[in-house]
Structure formats: C-alpha cells, structure tokens
C-alpha cells in the first residue's frame, strides 16, 4: 500500500519538474504553466500527507480523550508520559534536599498523564533498610483525579501527617491508577525530609 502512494508521489513529482521547466522556458509569462505548477504543488502536498497517514500503524493521532485513556501517539516518537516531579516550600541548594513541615505545601506535577487518577503516599523511611523494608509507618496518603486535558498537571497538597512530632527522612511515592490495574503502577519514589518548621 505504501509503495503505491510513493509511486503516485514520484509520478506527480516528475510532472512538477516538467511543469517547472515549462515555466522557466516561458520566463514566467505563460499563465497556463504557472497555474499547472501551483496545482501540481498542491497535489504533491496532499499526496505526502496521505503517505504520512498511511505509514501510521493506527492512523492519525488520537484525540486528547483517547490519549488520556492510554492511547498511543503514532507517526512520530511518542511524547514523554507520566513524568513525575515535586516541589516543597523549602529546598536546600547546597545539600540538594527538599524539606517539608506540617502545614506546608507539597506540589506533585505530572507531565503527559495517561491515567485518569493518581495516588500518593508519604511514609517514614527506615534509614538502615533497603527496598520495601525501608518503607516505614504511613504518614499521609490520598488520590486525585486529572482535571482538564493539559499536558502538565499540578496537584497541591497540604502536608498533614498522622504523626505531627516526627522529623527525619520520609519516602514520597506516586502511582498511576487504572481500572484494569487497580493496584496502580508505581511511577515515582523519592526521599525528602520532614522538619518541625522552625528552620530558617
């Protein structure tokens, strides 16, 4: 099928070159030659569009709603999806650490969301452990739905832990949730530090 479209494009391209030569020989004074050149140029653009569409595995780009449902971007490299970032009220550039105090704000940003709902959890971190054993007592958890169709979505959270006295290292984890995967897909895990809010 694609070879057929390329053949059509090659034939039209050859005709375009011939008409261009006609315009050149007439020194641009032949209206018929100029009109033919414009028409063939338009046909070439349409033909190239058809070839590009025919080369897509699933046809043209899906609409935003389909993309949110998990549709794949076709015809070119897929846009990055489910990139998770976060920020807090305080970041120490020298130490490269994020700090959060009870009542402070935590912002989770998701670029290219493909799930309708996401969830997060903040747990105490067992510093002397690794892997799942490092996940300690749960301090706060919740879920949030994606609203709108923008590429980048921000969700602001007020940190209100179950243990207001705890200070130290914690783990922030973010999951993408879907009907076919009710347990969610772990997208992000990061360590940050809880303070009592008295630091400068």
In this prediction, residue 70 carries a pLDDT of 47
Q: Is the pLDDT of residue 122 over 90?
A: yes
Decide the pairing of beta strands 152-158 and 181-194: unpaired
Q: For residues 53-79, b (16+ Cβ closer than 10 Å) or e, as one string?
A: eeeeeeeebbeeeebbeeeeeeeeeee
Domain segments of the chain: what residues? 2-60, 83-194
User: Mean pLDDT over residues 110-127, rounded?
Assistant: 90
Alpha-carbon distances, residue 142 vs 5, 20, 174, 180, 197 (angstroms): 52, 66, 10, 20, 23
pLDDT bucket at 182, cuts 50 / 70 / 90: low
Q: Is the pLDDT of residue 179 over 80?
A: no
- Cβ-in-10-Å burial (0-12, 13-18, 19+) of 113 comes to buried
In this prediction, residue 128 carries a pLDDT of 80
How much is the mean pLDDT over the chain?
Answer: 76
pLDDT bucket at 59, cuts 50 / 70 / 90: very low
pLDDT bucket at 147, cuts 50 / 70 / 90: confident
Per-residue pLDDT tens for 18-40? 877 777 777 767 777 777 767 76
Q: Is the pLDDT of residue 108 over 90?
A: yes
Q: Which of 18-22, 50-54, 131-135, 182-186 has the lowest mean pLDDT?
A: 50-54
Residue 35: other Cβ atoms inside 10 A: 11
Q: Is the pTM of this model over 0.75?
A: no
Alpha-carbon distances, residue 181 vs 31, 73, 114, 116, 174 (angstroms): 64, 21, 13, 12, 15
CATH superfamily, domain at 83-194: Macroglobulin (MG2) domain (2.60.40.1930)
In this prediction, residue 137 carries a pLDDT of 92
């Amino acid at each position: 099928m694609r070879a057929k479209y390329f053949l059509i494009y090659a034939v039209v391209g050859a005709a375009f070159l011939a008409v261009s030569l006609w315009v050149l020989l007439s020194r641009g004074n032949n209206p018929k030659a100029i009109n033919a050149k414009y028409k063939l140029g338009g046909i070439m653009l349409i033909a190239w569009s058809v070839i590009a569409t025919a080369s897509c595995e699933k046809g043209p780009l899906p609409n935003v709603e389909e993309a949110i449902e998990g549709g794949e971007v076709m015809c070119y490299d897929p846009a990055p999806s489910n990139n998770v970032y976060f920020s807090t009220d305080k970041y120490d550039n020298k130490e490269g650490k994020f700090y959060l105090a009870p009542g402070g704000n935590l912002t989770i940003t998701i670029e290219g969301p493909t799930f309708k709902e996401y969830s997060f959890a903040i747990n105490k971190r067992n510093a002397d452990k690794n892997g799942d054993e490092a996940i300690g007592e749960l301090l706060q958890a919740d879920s949030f739905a994606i609203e709108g169709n923008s590429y980048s979505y921000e969700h602001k959270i007020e940190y209100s832990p179950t243990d207001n006295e705890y200070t130290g290292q914690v783990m922030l984890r973010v999951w993408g949730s879907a009907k076919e995967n009710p347990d969610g897909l772990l997208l992000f895990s990061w360590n940050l530090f809880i303070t009592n809010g008295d630091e400068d």
